[in-house]
Amino acid sequence: SSSSGDESLNDKRARILSRGLPKQKPIEGVKQVVVLASGKGGVGKSTTAVNIALALAANDSTKEVGLLDADIYGPSIPKMMNLKGNPELTPKNLMRPLKNYGIACMSMGFLIEETAPVVWRGLMVMSAVEKLLRQVDWGQLDYLVIDMPPGTGDVQLSVSQNVPIAGAVIISTPQDVALLDARKGAEMFRKVHVPVLGLVQNMSVFQCPKCKHETHIFGADGVRDLAKTLGLDILGDIPLHVNIRESCDSGQPVVIAQPQSDAAKAYLKIAMEIVRRLPVPPA
């Protein structure tokens, strides 16, 4: 019958496609990988990734946390984590991550001059991402947080297909333009069978430091509405606050610099929600 013919054709297609996909291989020493992504640039993803990595460690001092900057063209983790210099090599020729605030960090920014542009084609970028994932001595980590570049391109697909990912978190502002791209990001992870843990609404509200009046500069509740449409959870809201920007620019993220502030508490709550939704890690 035509239906059985269609099924066998689909099976054949699936087999051919699966042959072309790389086999997922865990990163040695890493129990769970959490990726932070955004469809659009400029929504505060790297700032969120840094503070969530620090919050994961702050919430549970028994956990070891690493942070990988997968943005080859615009690495920002070195500045935000106040780290400079080239990684040392182990006897096995693996790079040792640079460490600050108890977080092991790896970034393209450690391998090139701070002001040097990376003018590479796709294949070179893929090779660099592979090295940052595989040729690093991460030690023993409970969580590796990967700060993805914006968009839904080669790097996102490569990481998703090469590494078993415990969960993805999508960062967006409530602005309509950002939400369109955030939706694409969530759909991409679903297509490559990466569980989306939820959405984070960044820059959700601005409070005037003088009169305390609140203004929704980028709109109100846009990410919440998107989460409902996609059947996903909202992990938390982060306010638009000058302290968040200033602290990251100075290399002292707000979770470290002002742990009792409302902004730090927002990140700590989001980190807790992420852990609640992760599968049970391997022993």
pLDDT tens-digit readout, 23-82:
678 999 999 999 998 865 667 789 999 999 999 999 999 999 999 998 877 788 999 999
- What confidence category does residue 120 fall into, taking pLDDT thresholds of 50, 70 and 90? low
Residue 175 has pLDDT above 70, yes or no: no
* Inter-residue contact 60 to 138 (CB < 8 Å): no
Can you say how many angstroms the Cα of residue 128 is from the centroid of all Cα atoms in its chain? 17
d(CA 180, CA 172) in angstroms, rounded, equals 10
Evaluate if residue 164 carries a pLDDT over 80: yes
- Judged against a pLDDT cut of 60, whether residue 19 lies above it is answered with no
- Mean pLDDT throughout 13-28? 67
The angle that helices 222-230 and 176-191 make with each other, rounded to 10 degrees, is: 30
Average pLDDT over residues 258-266: 91
Q: What pLDDT does 104 receive? A: 96
Q: Does the pLDDT at position 97 exceed 90?
A: yes
Domains by residue range for the chain, with CATH: 30-277 (3.40.50.300)
Is the pLDDT at 171 greater than 80? The verdict is yes
250 or 52, greater pLDDT: 52
What pLDDT is stored for residue 108 in this prediction?
Answer: 87
208 pLDDT higher than 80: no
pLDDT level of residue 123 (50, 70, 90 thresholds): confident
Longest dimension (CA), the chain: 74
The more confidently predicted of residues 243 and 84 is 84
> How much is the mean pLDDT over the chain?
81
- Say what the pLDDT of residue 156 is: 79
Report field, pTM of the whole predicted structure over 0.95: no
The predicted model gives 242-253 an average pLDDT of 80
Cβ atoms within 10 A of the Cβ of 195, count? 13
User: What is the pLDDT, as a whole number, of residue 15?
Assistant: 62
- Residue 280 vs residues 32, 271, 283: alpha-carbon distances, Å: 9, 16, 9
Q: Is the Cβ–Cβ distance between 50 and 248 less than 8 Å?
A: yes
User: Over 80: is that where the pLDDT of 241 sits?
Assistant: no
